[in-house]
A and B are shown apart, each in its own frame.
Chain A
Amino acid sequence: MTNALFSIIIFPGFFFLSILALFAEFFDRKLYARLQNRVGPPWFQPFADFIKLIAKEDIIPCDSSPRMFQLAPVFALCAAVTTFLYIPLWRRDTNFSFNGDIIVILYFLTIPTLAFFIGGWYSTSLYARIGSVRCLTQLFAYEIPLFMGILSAALLANTWSLSGMMVFYSRHPLLWLCNLLGFAVSLVSLLGKLEKVPFDIPEAETEVVAGAFTEYSGRLFALLRLTLDVETVTGAALLAAVFLPFGLTLNAPLAFVIFLLKVLSIIAVLSLCRTVVARLRMDQMIDFCWKYLVPLGILQLLINLFLKMGLSI
């Protein structure tokens, strides 16, 4: 019991995750800045932003539904943090793994987006409403290829649990190389999930101000920002677990360092992606996801199906 509580609240749960998430935000911002030939923020900037926002007054629009408006960020953060508990980080299993936890993880990862939608919708601002509708529209475009990428890796391992996958891939060390296509598809879909350029359409500053977050301020906004950071780390950790399953059998400190490196390099690739492209329009984004990402996801599924037959594992 104490052990479970410790892992939920302190390590690798909420506390550790928040610090890692804020550090990941710094890493992303600094790298983005350096790639743009800027100096970038100091390491404590995300922490300072967070503390400052926490100290600010919450302004709740009088036309909004206060309960929904206040609950949405909490729900989003909870879902994102919970997801993290189910992902094997540097070991082959977690304290809470069970058969079918892949579905639960993917389900939990969808909740923040829905919470953003609800928060934006109930804040009744026009910009927030347009932003939240965009959130939801975008969800239908990136979610399918993300599922395809992750589930095709699970298909090869013939299991519904992440720890089962870890066990499988550490038994067949080089088989993860077959999933590289799915990895690429999932990375691009993750950009959509995290609402980063080129898929930052729901919060496109020059069009809809801050999208669903327009009316948020103070503590609630701090929670939303933390949610996005946590989602970044969770998404990166999930991809690292599914597509880069190596170094898990090493001794704990070394495996932990490898885990951090994996997460940070995935975040670095995401930063690089958002540096070199412009924002797409909603119709172009949906076209792109369905015309390129989904067929590639299907291709990965087929490859894994044939592999399974060929290797008869």
Chain B
Amino acid sequence: MHDLDKSKFKIPIGPQHPALKEPESFSVALKGEKILGVDIRLGYNHRGIEKACEDRSYVQDVYLIERVCGICSHSHSTCFVQAVEEIAALEVPMRALYIRTLIGELERIHSHLLWLGVAGHEIGFDTLLMYTWRDREIVMDILALLTGNRVNYGINTIGGVRRDIDDKAIKKILAAMNTLEDRTKYYIGIALEETTIIKRLSGVGVLSHEDALRLDAVGPTARASRVARDVRHDDPYAAYSELTVNVITDNHCDVYGRTLVRVKELMESYRIIRQCLEKLPAGPITVKAPRKIQAGESTSRYEAPRGEDLHYVKANGTEKPERVKIRAPTLANVQAVKHMLKDRYLADMPIVIAAIDPCFSCTDRLVSINNLDDKKREVITWEKLRDYSISWYRERGIDPSILNKKS
């Protein structure tokens, strides 16, 4: 603050702010309405999932990993089981791969519709929010029908999937796809015609092609800057090698481009789902996986709705993994936000942040403290963090150590 004169000031957007759905801190230096700089601070949502995975068996981990993110839960669990299956050299039946693909695409639809609504809300267009979230219920119902759950589907298991689908469900999915396709066409029409939307979105949060490559953006954020990267196309997993995937790119390089990419990807998802149901092979849906996974390591990639998701798993021959590392898409994209916000107005801030479709709980990773006095960087170890939390509760009169004692 010392170099700022009186006309400049800092306002906190977050950790608690109506624009953010999750706690995250953006400290914005403003001059009038203009943004001079943004400090992003992550770390309000850290849950230690990677570490917790090391204490659980592989099957338990599938359910834990699914809870990394509330929206792309299937993405994370598929990415994880793919890595484990590769280490264990399991031959997953084709039908299981198709069902995984199907759920993955349904999840993409629900995520993109959700995003469209949030984007509408950020620019004060609540009608779009109400409409898209109403339509999102259709796909949520289909997901509940197929898996029994609306968000954490629990359909993946190591070696396949846990639930089969029947003809009745297929009919319902196809009917739902038709309804959703009509509605999406309507939204594409709105995005292309409505003046206030175009005014608020175009030219905002510009990320040039070069910057997108340099800052390593992924998913729709990158594709809106002409970066034709899609794991489904470049490195097909699950059943994508048998399906045609068109990579949607856009030339606008701004928030408007990201909106167009997402609505067009919705249309693409409907097509993939239809194709997937058409080609759905008969056969078993799972193979038996060993309890202990042989030693080895593997990296798995998955195109989550928000971009490329990356999981690294190292097995040591026991029933628990030695190391699990998750790189969620937001972690790749969040670097670009600071760049996009340069010289923009405060009013653009919510939509620019929302345009990468951030999921901060996916992104929060490690605790690192910069000691301001001696500029030394200190990393809190697991034990220190545990001791700190116990003492924090003790100070407040709660003794958590009784939880460790067996009654």
Contact = CB atoms under 8 A, between A and B. Distances in A.
Contacts of B124: 197-198, 200, 204-206, 278-279
A70 to B, nearest CB: 25
Contact of B345 (A37, A38, A279, A283): A283
Given A278-B200, A280-B196, A37 B18 contact: no
A282 B348 CA distance: 11
B350 A206 contact: yes
A280 B11 contact: no
A130 B18 contact: no
B38 to A, nearest CB: 14
Interface residues of B, number: 32
B346 interface: yes
Given A38-B130, A205-B18, A209-B18, A126 B196 contact: no
Interface in A111-140: 126-127, 130
Q: Is the interface of B mostly helix, strand, loop or mixed?
A: helix
B177 to A, nearest CB: 21
A205 B123 CA distance: 10
A281 B350 CA distance: 12
Interface string A270-283: 00000111111111
Contacts of A37: 130-131, 134
A35 interface: yes
Interface string A175-211: 0000000000000000000000110110011111100
A281 B202 CA distance: 12
Interface in B178-234: 194-197, 199-200
Contact of B196 (A35, A38, A277): A277
21 contacts: A35-B127, A36-B126, A36-B127, A37-B131, A38-B130, A126-B11, A126-B12, A200-B124, A206-B122, A206-B124, A207-B19, A207-B346, A207-B350, A278-B125, A279-B124, A279-B196, A280-B196, A281-B200, A281-B345, A281-B347, A282-B33
Interface of B: 9, 11-12, 17-19, 30, 33, 120-128, 130-131, 134, 194-197, 199-200, 345-350
Interface of A: 35-38, 126-127, 130, 197-198, 200-201, 204-209, 275-284
Given A198-B196, A279-B200, 10 more contacts: A37-B130, A37-B131, A130-B30, A197-B125, A206-B122, A278-B120, A278-B199, A280-B196, A281-B345, A281-B348
